[in-house]
Amino acid sequence: MKILGIETSCDETAVAIYEGDTATGLGVLLAEQVASQIETHARFGGVVPEVASREHLVALPPMVESILAEAELTWAQIDEIAVTAGPGLMGALLVGTSYARAAGMVHNIPVSPVHHMEGHLLAPGLAGVLPEFPFITLLVSGGHTMLVRVDAIGKYSVIGQTLDDAAGECFDKSARLLGLPYPGGPEIAMLAKGGDAKRFKLPRPMLNKDNLDFSFSGLKTAVMYAVKAAGGVESFDLQTMKDMAAGIETATCEVLVKKSIRACLREDAPRLVIAGGVAANETLRNMLFKLAEAKGVEVHLPHPKHCTDNAAMIAYAGFQHQCAGLAAPDEWDATPRWTLHS
């Protein structure tokens, strides 16, 4: 079957077509496109919801027609439309879901709502096959940082989550303190190369707490005080900037990695997936593989291009629903808050 995926939950407009065989669970990505709005929102220091919605309205229709042409398909050859229904920015979600429903009605194609975070946790399957159940997924995307136990497609249990700032938010806010542009994660990662992560003594929030939850607001505050104590960012030379960036990146990644491995061991599920935008971070990946090997945990990561928001993961999630025999609900709507659970 051929599934058209649509993703408009935040500031990326994305479409993709995935073809799979429900009998084997195997398939291939036929085509995908992503239109980023980073430059549009960068001058505001973050995403402006109304602006994001208007950008989606302009970009989505021609992108869908373009992706059909790229895959050499017509609407009549599409078997299902899978669309992100939440969580996300309400206006942005409504653009995608409204388009999907209209297209489905016009072309007589069923439409399936997909949880944005489910798309991320299944994204490694785009590169081959999913790990054996059960497995643990660390989801680090935008305002989300959570640990999820995956027992089957559609059977998810949140076993840990952030109590305040997510990892991505910590990167963005820390970057702003250093005078770096939005989004902060990639900027800090680039600046951290060649930096001394031990120069500034930054905390590892909740790392020694006997739970699987996260907290990154304290790290961001510690960065603010460290910058002030060092004379303010205006006095920083390039090496000092690199050292501070390396310290922020290492502190954040250490917490994410150690908590994730702890979750695998505690849940007796020695298979780990890390997905979401922060999963593309090289320091995180290197630190993860080193500790996972020492602890006997098997690691599965999406391709870097499928770590950030994309429609391939949404189409793939829709395909996996079909393989598992999960029918779309009769009634559903876009929802900015949608808990990920069975």
In the block, tokens 């109304």 appear at: 50
3-state secondary structure (DSSP) of residue 271 = strand
Gap between the Cα atoms of 300 and 242, Å rounded: 30
- Annotation: binding site for Fe cation: 116, 120, 309
Pairing of strands 80-86, 2-7: parallel
Type of residue found at 155: K
* Number of alpha carbons in the 13 Å side-chain half-sphere of residue 237: 1
Compute CA 234 distance to the chain's CA centroid, rounded to the nearest angstrom: 33
Q: What is the DSSP string of 106-171?
A: HHT--EEEEEHHHHHHHGGGGGS-PPPSSEEEEEEETTEEEEEEEEETTEEEEEEEBSS--HHHHH
Type of residue found at 222: A
3-state secondary structure (DSSP) of residue 319 = helix
3-state secondary structure (DSSP) of residue 21 = strand
Question: Comparing C-alpha atoms, which of 292, 273, 333, 331 is closest to residue 118?
Answer: 273
Burial 264-280 (b: 16+ CB within 10 A, else e): beebebbbbbbbbbbbb
- Annotation: binding site: 116, 120, 139-143, 172, 185, 281, 309
Read off the tokens for 66: 């373009």
Q: Residue length, the chain?
A: 342
3-state secondary structure (DSSP) of residue 83 = strand
End-to-end C-alpha distance for the chain, whole angstroms: 25
In the block, tokens 């194609």 appear at: 109
Burial 162-194 (b: 16+ CB within 10 A, else e): beebbbbbbbbbbbbbbebebbbbbbbbebbee
- Annotation: binding site for substrate: 139-143, 172, 185, 281
